[in-house]
Amino acid sequence: MPGRRRWALWVLLVALLAGLLSTLVWLAGRYESSQVQSRLEQDAVQTAADIRAALTRNIQRFQVLPAHSASPDAWRLSVSELLREHREIMRLEWRDAALGTVASADTPYRTSVFARLGRKNAQADVSLACAAARRFSGPAYSTSFFLPQSDGLGLEMLDMCLPVPAAGRPAGYLVVTYSLQDILSELVGKQMGRGRSLAFTEVDGTRLAMYGNPAHGSRAYVVQQLLDLPGNTLVLRLESRRGTPALFPNLLTALVTAMSMALVAVLALLGRDMRRRLKVEHDLADALAFRKAMEDSLVTGMRARDLQGRVTYVNPAFCQMVGFEAKELLHHGMPPPYWPPEQVEEYGQRQANRLAVGATLPREGFESVFMRRDGSRFPVLIIDAPLINALGKQTGWMSAILDVSEQRRIEELSRASQDRLQATARLATVGEMASLLSHELNQPLAAISSYATGALNLLQSAAADAQQPDNSEDMQRAMRRIAEQAERAGKVIKSVHDFVRRRDQVREPIAPRRLLDAVMPLVSLQARKLAVRVLIQVDASCGPVLCDRTMVEQVLLNLARNGMQAMQGPDKSRRAEKVLTLRVRPAASNAHSRWVEFAVIDQGEGISEQVAQQLFMPFFTTKAEGMGLGLSLCRTVIEQHGGLLGFEAVLPHGTIFTFTLPVAATAAEPE
Ligand code: ADP
């Protein structure tokens, strides 16, 4: 798992870095300590050399002391100055060849060191030293010895024996007793720095004499140096507290530590940055996954193309739509496999145009035809948008593609059913008309029959009585009446025939007046039955309208019929006269309007709020014999012409239904 491995790597990195840094700090500290140590060692060597040199200088002083020829008093006098100058010398003895004391002198700074224990105790050391001195023919030192003092403390002493020759053979010895303590303080102590202590120790570390403050604790530097003296070897121990390794012994360590801390800080910052990066990466992956899921679940086909028109991306919906696989579509080159071969040229041209247009594309898209893998064609709606990259530069086109074949099929179906519905409505109207027709035809037929009877009577009476004056004039009149009535009946029948006959749906320019004339015979049929007077007002400035006249005539007829029926309410006694007005005028106030407004105004009971809400719903009717299709069809027809159908109340009572039709451009109306 990459996450866990990344963690392990991080832990390893941090551990390595921590190890490296602590090693570095430790090494720097050690380097610092070793520096101090070696300095101390040099100092120790120097100190030992200093002591030895001082002791040698002392011996030179002893050798110039007056020889044994002098009297003990004279000798004592001559050494008294020496003792005053050299505080480290406790006692000087002049001994003869058999080591018997001839004369002695004590340091003036103390009471005699041998006062408490006597000189005899150290006799063995003295004789050993002098034996060695005799062997060396030079100075020799005894081993050190402890002398308790009267003040309760004690001093570590060292004897030195110097043979004093007389006439070539040893005639006696000069025995010098040194205090180790004072050797340290007098010979080298002065130049020793603070924080150090100097001591003589035995080989096992037991301290014999010391100068300076002893260093405590484990952090002291200690150096031991052997001080070789003839006959004796002393251990010199130098301790230093100065430069005791603190947390940061020096600049180097501090620097290394500071750099390490900076490194750790940088590492922490890097870690934080990495964490942020990871989070962003994670979010990005989420967003990508979301986008992918979205694209895959889309039913809209998506297609991206580069600026040359080559497909660079397709989603599963698009692949499914055209039946090709994504890899077949990508980088296929031109033309893409879903272009119908017969359209390739046209589509190529269209694409070239689009590229030339740049980023200003219609948002509503355009329709086209694509080909499936099996060769079948299907209509699509394509909405193109420029593909802009993060730098704001256009890199291609993104298209959403909708398969609209189903939509087209439904539209086709609904158009067919609409047509059927209209035909049905027309037949229904005709059915309604049939009763009116029979009523209307009754009159001319009755007239014809009565004229015919009259004519027959005339003929019979003429045959019976030949002397009768000529009645051919009456006959002619009767025949003319018969012809008139027959013509009238014929007109009635023709008007119905004209209406019912289904003509091609063609839009033609037609004068509004002619539309009214066409429906007038039928309107007046009903008007006469319902005792309604029909008024016609046509504005002379109205030009021809562009419409399917059959349809619009039916609309006019429907509205007129509705208006007349609305005036048949129970309160008809209220008005002496019922008037239906058919009015035509330009839609807007100016005469050059592009629209003509038709209005059908009645004085009926009006339309209640409740009825108004459902008025245009198919099959809504308030009449016992009504179909409720009239108004819904009227509106469809008018909207198909691009016009609007609406209604308003007329005061004090009545309703006005209006609709608009477009003016035919300049085409002259055919007669
Ligand atoms: P139908 O005439 O077959 O009832 P329509 O769609 O033509 O169907 O009319 C629907 C209803 O609208 C009518 O039943 C009537 O109630 C109401 N209506 C239509 N025109 C008018 C009008 N001019 N005045 C009052 N009511 C009307």
Q: Considering only CA atoms, which residue is closest to atom 8 of ligand 1?
A: 628
557 lines ligand 1 (CB under 6 A): no
Of 228, 249, 270, the domain-final residue: 249
Q: How far apart are CA 348 and CA 338, in angstroms?
A: 13
Distance 120 CA to ligand 1 centre (A): 160
Distance 62 CA to ligand 1 centre (A): 157
φ/ψ of 363, rounded to 5, equals: -75, -25
Q: Considering only CA atoms, which residue is closest to atom 21 of ligand 1?
A: 562
Q: Is residue 275 a part of any domain in this protein?
A: no
189 lines ligand 1 (CB under 6 A): no
618 lines ligand 1 (CB under 6 A): no
Same domain? 499 vs 602: no
Same domain? 6 vs 91: yes
Q: How far apart are CA 426 and CA 419, in angstroms?
A: 11
Q: What is the pLDDT of residue 331?
A: 74
Q: Considering only CA atoms, which residue is closest to atom 14 of ligand 1?
A: 621
CA angle (83, 85, 90) in 5-degree steps? 35
Looking at the CA of residue 621, tell me the nearest atom of ligand 1.
14
Same domain? 344 vs 490: no
441-462 confidence digits (pLDDT tens): 777 788 788 888 888 888 888 7
163 lines ligand 1 (CB under 6 A): no
- The strand pair at 579-586 and 545-547 is best described as unpaired
| Closest listed residue to residue 252, CA positions, set 521, 59, 36 | 36
Q: What is the pLDDT of residue 467?
A: 64
Q: What is the pLDDT of residue 439?
A: 63
Same domain? 451 vs 382: no
Residues with pLDDT less than 70, the chain: 1-2, 66-70, 167-170, 193-194, 214-219, 242-250, 357-363, 430-433, 435-437, 439-440, 466-469, 495-496, 498-505, 570-576, 589-592, 666-671
Q: What is the pLDDT of residue 432?
A: 65
Q: What is the pLDDT of residue 660?
A: 93
551-576 confidence digits (pLDDT tens): 888 889 889 989 998 888 766 455 56
Looking at the CA of residue 628, tell me the nearest atom of ligand 1.
8
* In contact, 448 and 486? CB cutoff 8 Å: yes
Same domain? 488 vs 595: no
Instruction: For the chain, give percent helix, strand, coil, nearest 5.
Output: 50, 25, 30
DSSP 560-627: HHHHHHHTTSGGGGG-S--EEEEEEEESSSSTT-SEEEEEEE--SS---HHHHHHTTSTT---STT--
Tokens of 222: 């200690």
Tokens of 667: 């085409």
H-only helix segments in 302-384: 316-322, 326-329, 344-357
Q: What is the pLDDT of residue 667?
A: 43
623 lines ligand 1 (CB under 6 A): yes
Distance 559 CA to ligand 1 centre (A): 8
Looking at the CA of residue 615, tell me the nearest atom of ligand 1.
12
* In contact, 448 and 482? CB cutoff 8 Å: yes
Q: How far apart are CA 635 and CA 660, in angstroms?
A: 11
Same domain? 558 vs 627: yes
10 lines ligand 1 (CB under 6 A): no
Distance 615 CA to ligand 1 centre (A): 7
CATH number at residue 430: 1.10.287
Q: Is residue 145 a part of any domain in this protein?
A: yes
Owning domain of residue 340: 298-403
CA angle (374, 379, 385) in 5-degree steps? 110
Same domain? 395 vs 427: no
- How far from 2 is each of 8, 220, 288, CA to CA, in Å? 10, 52, 19
H-only helix segments in 220-250: none
Of 463, 483, 503, the domain-final residue: 503
Of 369, 403, 437, the domain-final residue: 403
566 lines ligand 1 (CB under 6 A): yes
Residues 6+ away with beta carbon under 8 Å from 94: 68, 72, 75, 101, 102, 103, 104, 164, 172, 173, 174
Q: How far apart are CA 16 and CA 28, in angstroms?
A: 18
| Closest listed residue to residue 121, CA positions, set 169, 52, 177, 73 | 177
Distance 567 CA to ligand 1 centre (A): 11
Same domain? 24 vs 170: yes
- Mutating to test ligand 1, I would choose from 523, 625, 631 the residue with most ligand atoms within 8 A of its C-beta, which is 631
621 lines ligand 1 (CB under 6 A): yes
